[in-house]
Amino acid sequence: MKKAGRKFASTFGAIMALAGIEHGIGEILQGNLAPDGIMILSWPGSEFFRNLSGEPAMTVIPNLLVTGILATLVSLALLVWSLLFVHRQNGGWIMIILSVAMLLVGGGIFPPILAILIGAVATRNNTPRSPSIAGQPAGFRRFLASLWPWTYSASIIAWLSLLPGIPLLAYFIGVDNTVVILVILFFAFGTLLLNIFASSAYDFQVRSG
């Protein structure tokens, strides 16, 4: 797997996995209860997660305790895979399978969906070159490649600002502004998507000398 692509998949796969573990812990703490339906809240009534709407999730398991245990275990498996094995030939496909499982057993909504996207990107990282990048003008590729270190760092900061940053600001400092939350949210998603293209361009430039 190419250097920047592997770093991207490993880092952000791990971040999404940690978010899944957090969801699982909240579900475990609710105890041996049956959910009202397929859609659940990982932290209902939690003041800390109030501005994240109690951390929505979904589950096909009719028991919150079992859901939480499975969410934690699957997310932990995704964490280990992201950090140690995503660079393997079928690493991206395994990440996708683990992310789908995480979605179905209470690992949140956005974390597993984004992990599926990251896994899909990782499946292309073992190919000689990305067609979407190879077809771009050389100057544009160089520009994207030059953005890679900055978008990578900015995206990590953005996602840590989202979680646990937003709950920490609201709970301890009282900063609970919808505009601030939306700005951080769009910045996190925007830099993540930009990372996909910047990492591909960076690796293309390295391989092309």
pLDDT on residue 191: 94
Domain locations along the chain: 3-208
pLDDT on residue 170: 80
pLDDT on residue 1: 52
* Burial of residue 84, with CB atoms counted within 10 A of its CB: 0-12 exposed, 13-18 middle, 19 or more buried: exposed
104-133 CB burial, b ≥16 within 10 A, e <16:
bbbbbebbbebbbbbbbbbbbbbeeebeeb
What is the pTM (predicted TM-score) of this model? 0.89
Under-70 pLDDT residues of the chain: 1-2, 126-137, 208-209
pLDDT on residue 169: 82
pLDDT on residue 62: 96
Calpha distance 187→10 (Å, rounded): 20
